[in-house]
Structure 1
């Protein structure tokens, strides 16, 4: 199929303009900092993988340098077609919890899509997760 080449750097505005509507509707569009997220000390909960499996439909990942081209479901169903993505998924470390936040009445992943897919591929029923509050999400917001 193609490789997981790095997509070119773009501004936040360009990224939002290129983002499919389904992602804009599903995920919070708050720009946040990964380092701030990882520093949060939140309780770890066990969350059912099936509760989050609907997120596997989102075209989250890039292909051949183009963003929003590959969904986790595609990687799961055609691992030979997406070897770079499959390698990243299988190399992900399930000892680190994923990060979730409630958005539009449902839990969604902020960080940890690769780990979530790995847990699903391995047949795990639950995954460790930290659930952010709205205040937590605001605390990791990137400066404007």
Structure 2
């Protein structure tokens, strides 16, 4: 399958996390994936990375910055507080055994804020990436 390249410039610190192609969240959510309990500690490093937009610009703020200054980053903080733990996080199991969160950073931050020790995670195997890829036209 030919994949559409990711359309934005990705900061260096995110290059090991952001997939280099466009993928579809609905396709990801439609997959029947195994759910595992994972320690928040194993995923916590995601909170140090600038995944979130601010002032209309992508990749500007880290979840930790949002937690430290909820007034400035009100929109992201409110999304964090509204995050639904009835939905597991969605993550990618990479060949090097790293786990990369694809959907659920707000839930992870909320888990951290509430001192939860584990979160539920749906794991997408690396070999199944084409199932979420947006094909080229």
Q: Deviations over 1:57-98 (max 9, x none)?
A: 111111111111110011122222211110011111110001
Distance 2:35 2:7 in 1: 35
* Mapped partners of 1:96, 1:102: distance in 2: 18
Where in structure 1 are there 5+ consecutive unaligned residues?
A: 1-10
Greater fraction helix: 1
Name the residue aligned to 1:7. none
In the TM superposition, what are the counterparts of 1:51-70 in structure 2 within 5 Å? Answer: 51-70=42-61
TM superposition outliers: structure 1 runs of 4+ over 2 Å: 11-14, 25-30, 102-105
Counterpart for residue 99 of structure 1: 90
For residues 3-28 of structure 1, give each alpha carbon's deviation from its aligned partner in whole angstroms, at most 9, with x where no partner exists: xxxxxxxx95651x2x2011112333
CA RMSD between the two structures: 1.7
For 1:30-57, what per-residue CA distance to the aligned partner results, in whole angstroms no more than 9, with x for missing partners?
Answer: 3211111010111211011110001111
Q: Which runs of 5+ in 2 are unaligned?
A: none
